[in-house]
């Protein structure tokens, strides 16, 4: 991408919305980022967090470097109105990338679509690595941004899933989940469930993506032997973590920052058995027995945002999308 040292390509929400990218491309890009990190070629320092005492907002700052793409990036995330309903909340996230070969800026972009794709792709990778052999039933809890693409991504990594369950209460969200599945897998159908306990008992894979105000909370003893429960947002009770046979996380350090709501009464979280980058590298296996209940924590790593953001920047540049801003002139 041709750049100079005074201008910055800014990619808006609408610029990124017009880019076509396949589920397979997203999964491959995210997986490569994890493998590169496991090989010691990338850097992903612990995120910085700021949260006021009353908890009405939360902010994150994340810096990282992709050693294969030779890209350095900074991601910021700010959410306001955590004490309010979903419609009243404000959320802003940006990603700024620099080419570490030329030293020139690549792009600054809205990171919302990147996150909406990266996160379910990571859940799908966790499901692929943690699911028991012959897993056939998946349950998604929540119909927000992460819930809407959870099933298409799960089917991209676990094509053997033949029963798809959805637990949700928002009609618009439920319709959006159905629409996304129909767009990617028009021959597949969703079963909307009202008895969460019964649905969890049937599921081999549970992905909890609900918002903070949800009343859904799957308990450990609801899960069948061999099930994997993946926490993205909310919808799992702390017992699913503390009574799991194995605990897998994208990052143990980040789980200890963002997963405090899953702590026991003493404020403690159990140790993580393996991190996803190590699993994807092939050094160790997430599951060591078919009947193990596995808890997986998906907190996201900025190296995956960097890789996927850089992929979007490449696609956008090829189509001439974005606005050139003389930021340093």
Please state, for a pLDDT cut of 70, what percent of the chain lies above it: 99
Give the integer Cα–Cα distance in Å for 44 and 108: 19
277 neighbors 37 (Cβ within 8 angstroms): yes
pLDDT at position 2 is 57
Q: Which residues of 300-323 are buried (b: 16+ CB within 10 A; e: fewer)?
A: bbbbbbbbbbbbbbebbbeeebbe
**287 pLDDT higher than 90:** yes
pLDDT at position 134 is 95
Beta strands in 191-253 (DSSP E): 191-192, 205-208, 228-231, 246-249
pLDDT at position 258 is 85
Reduced DSSP (H G I as helix, E B as strand, rest coil) percent helix, strand, coil of the chain, to 5: 35, 25, 40
Give the integer Cα–Cα distance in Å for 328 and 104: 12
Mean pLDDT, rounded, for 304-323: 95
Mean pLDDT, rounded, for 269-287: 96
**145 pLDDT higher than 80:** yes
Which two structure tokens, joined as six digits, stand for 76?
């910021």
197 band by pLDDT with thresholds 50, 70 and 90: very high
35 neighbors 281 (Cβ within 8 angstroms): yes
Which two structure tokens, joined as six digits, stand for 192?
């909307």
At 60-73, the pLDDT tens digits run 999 999 999 999 99
Please state, for a pLDDT cut of 90, what percent of the chain lies above it: 90
Q: How many residues make up the chain in this entry?
A: 329
Mean pLDDT, rounded, for 44-48: 89
Give the integer Cα–Cα distance in Å for 9 and 2: 11
1 band by pLDDT with thresholds 50, 70 and 90: low
Mean pLDDT, rounded, for 31-44: 96
Q: Is 109 helix (H, G, I), strand (E, B) or coil?
A: strand
Which two structure tokens, joined as six digits, stand for 24?
């397979």
DSSP state of 234: B
16 neighbors 316 (Cβ within 8 angstroms): yes
pLDDT at position 159 is 97
pLDDT at position 82 is 87
Average pLDDT over the chain, rounded to whole? 95
Mean pLDDT, rounded, for 90-108: 95
**262 pLDDT higher than 90:** yes
pLDDT at position 254 is 86
**Prediction pTM value:** 0.92
242 band by pLDDT with thresholds 50, 70 and 90: very high
pLDDT at position 328 is 92
């Amino acid at each position: 991408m041709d750049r100079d040292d005074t201008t910055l390509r800014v990619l808006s929400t609408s610029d990124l919305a017009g880019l076509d990218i396949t589920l397979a491309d997203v999964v491959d890009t995210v997986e490569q980022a994890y493998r590169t990190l496991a090989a010691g070629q990338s850097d992903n320092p612990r995120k910085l967090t700021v949260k006021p005492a009353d908890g009405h907002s939360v902010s994150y700052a994340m810096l990282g470097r992709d050693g294969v793409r030779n890209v350095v990036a900074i991601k910021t995330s700010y959410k306001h109105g955590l004490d309010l309903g979903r419609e009243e909340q404000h959320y802003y996230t940006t990603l700024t990338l620099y080419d570490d070969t030329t030293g020139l800026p690549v792009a600054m972009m809205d990171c919302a679509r990147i996150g909406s794709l990266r996160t379910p792709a990571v859940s799908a990778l966790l499901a692929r690595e943690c699911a028991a052999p012959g897993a056939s039933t998946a349950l998604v809890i929540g119909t927000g941004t992460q819930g809407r693409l959870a099933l298409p991504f799960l089917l991209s990594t676990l094509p053997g899933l033949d029963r798809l369950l959805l637990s949700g209460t928002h009609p618009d969200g439920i319709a959006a989940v159905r629409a996304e599945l129909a767009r990617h897998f028009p021959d597949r159908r969703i079963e909307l469930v009202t008895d969460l306990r019964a649905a969890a008992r049937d599921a081999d894979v549970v992905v909890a993506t609900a918002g903070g105000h949800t009343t859904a909370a799957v308990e450990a003893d609801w899960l069948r032997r061999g099930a994997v429960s993946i926490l993205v947002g909310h919808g799992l009770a702390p017992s699913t973590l503390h009574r799991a046979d194995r605990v897998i996380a994208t990052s143990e350090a980040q789980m200890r920052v963002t997963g405090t709501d899953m702590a026991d009464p003493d404020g403690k979280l159990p140790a993580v058995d393996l991190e996803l980058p190590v699993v994807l590298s092939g050094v160790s296996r997430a599951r060591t027995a078919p009947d193990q209940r596995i808890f997986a924590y998906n907190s996201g790593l900025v190296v995956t945002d960097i890789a996927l953001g850089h992929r979007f920047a490449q696609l956008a540049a090829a189509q001439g999308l974005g606005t050139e801003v003389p930021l340093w002139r």
